[in-house]
Amino acid sequence: QKEVEQNSGPLSVPEGAIASLNCTYSDRVSQSFFWYRQYSGKSPELIMSIYSNGDKEDGRFTAQLNKASQYVSLLIRDSQPSDSATYLCAVISTAAGNKLTFGGGTRVLVKP
């Protein structure tokens, strides 16, 4: 079982719709959760971090965390073509030596 799992996609959404991305993790004691965006040929950039159960909103992005079910999700509202990228879920577990472990990423395509 992979430590951090994501559907590779592509997730195709029409412009203006909501894109919903999911991520599951295997280590129950994971404490910190991040979403990175990576445009093709570019480096990852942090867009959201979340540490406690519930929702966290930042502009058009909402991160949702459910530690009991071991999943974290990212919602992108009013999707724009510029949101087309690969979204990487990353998790830190102190039990794993405080290492930032990335999932394989979900590719999102927003069609005008």
Partner 1 sequence: EAGVAQSPRYKIIEKRQSVAFWCNPISGHATLYWYQQILGQGPKLLIQFQNNGVVDDSQLPKDRFSAERLKGVDSTLKIQPAKLEDSAVYLCASSDAPGPGADNSPLHFGNGTRLTVT
State the nearest-atom distance from the C-beta of 49 to partner 1, in Å: 5
State the nearest-atom distance from the C-beta of 98 to partner 1, in Å: 5
State the nearest-atom distance from the C-beta of 27 to partner 1, in Å: 14
Residue 96 CA to residue 102 CA, distance in Å, equals 13
Nearer to partner 1, 45 or 55 (CB): 45
> Residue 33 is encoded by which pair of tokens?
């959760």
Nearer to partner 1, 83 or 103 (CB): 103
CB-based burial label for 22 (10 Å; 0-12, 13-18, 19+): middle
Nearer to partner 1, 1 or 43 (CB): 43
The Cα angle at residue 62 between residues 56 and 66, in degrees rounded to 5: 65
State the nearest-atom distance from the C-beta of 53 to partner 1, in Å: 16
Residues that bind partner 1 (CB under 8 A): 4, 8, 31-32, 42-46, 49, 51, 88, 90, 92, 97-105
3-class SS at 82? helix
Nearer to partner 1, 17 or 102 (CB): 102
Return phi, psi of residue 96, to 5°: -95, 20
Residue 36 · residue 97 · CB < 8 Å: no
